[in-house]
Chain A
Amino acid sequence: MMNIKDKYFKKKSILIIIFFAFALGSVALSLYTGSVKVSPGNIIKVMTGEASKLDYQIIWNIRLPRTIVAFLVGMSLAVSGAILQGIMRNPLASPNIIGVSSGAGFAGILLLIIFPAFSDLLIPFAFLGAMATTVVIYLIAWRGGADPHRLILTGVGVSAFLGAGIQSMMIFFPDRVHSVIGFMVGGLAARSWDHAFVLAPYAFAGTLLAFLSSGRLNILMMGDETARSLGLNVELTRVIFIAISSVLAAASVSIVGLLGFAGLIVPHLARIFVGPDHRYLFPVSALLGSGLIVTCDTLARMILDPVELPVGVIMAALGGPFFLYLLRRKSASSM
């Protein structure tokens, strides 16, 4: 970005506008689609507060909060994944690597299976489980500095250990397994304004912080030694980014379940379009992530209507092949 008139800058800005339109379009489609058809005119009436009671109930109390949760989750997971792939300098990094999924999974399933009486506390409990696991992984990986390779391997080790705990619980309490499946797959059914209000501050604060520090992540990508020689406090920067991405992912996962896949593939999709520069990668990942989750949730409600599929299933079933297609089409060097 040499100056504002730069062609390159212009091209990226146009892309960001396109993705913004995509995200908004997906929200509109999500509000419009469902078992009960509400016309666009009536949807607007709901927003201005002059609709019928039924329309109001469907749009304002059911579809809108659910769509907002989907939007925030998609944004948070995508930005979280983009941060981690950057600081780890590893294309396979995702919120799973810093133990968010295994930590939230372990805590959530522990609560649902062993202490079902407290299942109201699922969200804070899963959130704390995710954050605590990130801290443990970081501390174990620390040896005069948290080397990205050591972080990744530590994450794999800790996640495997917690996975063993999850599986043991499911084997010892087979009668309670059905209550945790929804949480493990990840779904948006019955997400309300309460969920949206819990998630929103984390999602917006984390995303905003990521946008503001995108230049620092670019510096960190040059490698620790070069970053240090440019005057960046490498360890501090890395721990701040890990904290941001852990909060983003933990808040999402604790509300909708283990939807980790979005955090892995969305940044790659975004990179195919705008390249690795985080000043563009973060906004495009955020918009693409929110648009994709909202769209996948719309499909999840539509495909087998009136039966609803979990959004995690749709995301993986459609996102996986589409991702592979893009990977084959674009040269692997742009990843």
Chain B
Amino acid sequence: MHLQCDTLSAGYGREMIINEISLTVKKGDITAIIGPNGSGKSTLLRAISGNIKNTDGKIFLNGKPVSEIRPKALARELTYMPQVLAAYPGFLVKDIVACGRFPHLGFGGRMKKEDHEKVNWAIESVGLQDYKDRTISSLSGGEFQMTRIAMAIAQETDLVILDEPTTFLDINHQLRVLGLIRKLNESMGKTILMVLHDINHASRFSHEIVVLDKGCKYTSGTPQEILTENILQNVFKINARIFTDPDHGIYCLSDSVT
């Protein structure tokens, strides 16, 4: 067991967005959160990553309440990649990736040789070695997203939380980013929790799917358990047909809205 949320409720001001959500993210798994717009997916990730305070419930990381872990120590355990990153355009790729080392540095923030090596390694592992001296503004959306993932790799956390990592990307880069996330999981042994919009991507790239609806957990399970005509109809209000492909596993074709 890696991350566990117990009856988590959170929102903005007095407005509650998520209500009593309990879920467990198993160590070594890729867990995808899906749900309609406004179902509280991003809010759930913000609450787990400590960006908003949960009004109720508890979050445990390896059995320890997250609220008792100091911010810098927590940043060595989990990283959270929000949908948008406000980076000044003049920063270089390697500067952004180097920020990932921040929680590992001392008070003065000086990078040691080992830190520089880890930054280089992170840049290489996303295939951006030829881009490391380029400015962020010269990158395409896909390359920018790769840079952010490299920053998460440089942060060396066991748990990586991503909010819609494939938004705004073309299909080629969507698959590249998802392939990279699978590599983080399989060859680097990281546990992944991410929000995805595309149900078929969630099915193909995750071990476990959590379905949110109207701020509550609707259900969770393996892709086989989640991709059913019934659930898609009840949660997404669509009529869909379910197929199985020997390479892709289970997937759906959405026909119409109900």
Instruction: Using CB atoms and an 8 Å cutoff, list the residues of chain A in contact with chain B.
Output: 1-3, 8, 89, 212, 215-216, 218-219, 221-226, 228-233, 271, 275-277, 333-334
A62 to B46, CA, bound (A): 59
A218-B91, A226-B80, A275-B135 are known; give 15 further A-B pairs, CB within 8 A.
A1-B95, A2-B119, A212-B108, A219-B99, A222-B86, A223-B85, A225-B80, A228-B71, A229-B79, A229-B82, A230-B75, A230-B102, A233-B71, A276-B90, A334-B90
Chain B, residue nearest A216 (CB): B109
Contact of A219 among B88, B102, B111 (CB under 8 A): B102
- Cβ–Cβ < 8 Å partners of A215 in chain B: 102, 109
- Within the complex, what minimum Cβ distance (angstroms) separates B90 from chain A? 4
Asked if A225 and B82 make an inter-chain contact with CB atoms under 8 angstroms apart, the answer reads yes
- Does B55 lie at the interface of the complex (its beta carbon under 8 Å from any beta carbon of A)? no
Chain B, residue nearest A221 (CB): B88
Asked if A231 and B80 make an inter-chain contact with CB atoms under 8 angstroms apart, the answer reads no
- Cβ–Cβ < 8 Å partners of A8 in chain B: 92, 133
A48 to B81, CA, bound (A): 60
- Within the complex, what minimum Cβ distance (angstroms) separates A21 from chain B? 24
Chain B, residue nearest A215 (CB): B109
- Given A218-B99, A219-B102, A225 and B49 contact (CB-CB distance below 8 Å): yes
24 A-B residue pairings within 8 Å (CB atoms): A1-B98, A2-B94, A2-B120, A89-B86, A218-B99, A219-B102, A221-B86, A221-B87, A222-B85, A223-B86, A224-B51, A225-B80, A226-B80, A226-B82, A226-B86, A228-B49, A228-B51, A228-B80, A229-B49, A229-B51, A229-B79, A229-B81, A277-B91, A277-B95
- Given A2-B94, A222-B85, A226-B85, A231 and B75 contact (CB-CB distance below 8 Å): yes
Asked if B88 and A231 make an inter-chain contact with CB atoms under 8 angstroms apart, the answer reads no
Instruction: Using CB atoms and an 8 Å cutoff, list the residues of chain B in contact with chain A.
Output: 46, 49-51, 71-76, 78-82, 84-92, 94-96, 98-100, 102-103, 108-109, 111, 113, 116, 119-120, 133, 135, 137, 155
- Cβ–Cβ < 8 Å partners of B46 in chain A: 225
Chain A, residue nearest B46 (CB): A225
Most chain-A CB neighbours within 10 Å: which of B79, B95, B119? Answer: B95
Asked if B49 and A232 make an inter-chain contact with CB atoms under 8 angstroms apart, the answer reads no
- Cβ–Cβ < 8 Å partners of A2 in chain B: 94, 116, 119-120
- Given A216-B109, A222-B99, A225-B82, A275 and B90 contact (CB-CB distance below 8 Å): yes
- Within the complex, what minimum Cβ distance (angstroms) separates B58 from chain A? 19
- Within the complex, what minimum Cβ distance (angstroms) separates A251 from chain B? 26
- Cβ–Cβ < 8 Å partners of A229 in chain B: 49, 51, 75, 78-82
Asked if A232 and B90 make an inter-chain contact with CB atoms under 8 angstroms apart, the answer reads no
- Within the complex, what minimum Cβ distance (angstroms) separates A230 from chain B? 5
- Within the complex, what minimum Cβ distance (angstroms) separates B155 from chain A? 7
Most chain-B CB neighbours within 10 Å: which of A89, A221, A225, A233? Answer: A225
- Given A222-B85, A333-B137, A231 and B116 contact (CB-CB distance below 8 Å): no
Asked if B99 and A231 make an inter-chain contact with CB atoms under 8 angstroms apart, the answer reads no
A56 to B194, CA, bound (A): 72
Contact of A275 among B71, B91, B96, B102 (CB under 8 A): B91
Contact of B89 among A1, A3, A334 (CB under 8 A): A334
Chain A, residue nearest B100 (CB): A230
- Cβ–Cβ < 8 Å partners of A231 in chain B: 71-76, 102-103
Contact of A222 among B76, B79, B87 (CB under 8 A): B87
- Within the complex, what minimum Cβ distance (angstroms) separates B208 from chain A? 22
Contact of B84 among A223, A275, A277 (CB under 8 A): A223
- Within the complex, what minimum Cβ distance (angstroms) separates A8 from chain B? 7
Asked if B86 and A230 make an inter-chain contact with CB atoms under 8 angstroms apart, the answer reads no
- Within the complex, what minimum Cβ distance (angstroms) separates B77 from chain A? 10
A231 to B109, CA, bound (A): 12
A300 to B102, CA, bound (A): 46
- Within the complex, what minimum Cβ distance (angstroms) separates B10 from chain A? 13
- Within the complex, what minimum Cβ distance (angstroms) separates B71 from chain A? 5
Asked if A276 and B109 make an inter-chain contact with CB atoms under 8 angstroms apart, the answer reads no
Chain B, residue nearest A236 (CB): B71
- Cβ–Cβ < 8 Å partners of A276 in chain B: 88-91
A225 to B95, CA, bound (A): 18
A212 to B79, CA, bound (A): 25
Contact of A232 among B71, B81, B82, B113 (CB under 8 A): B71
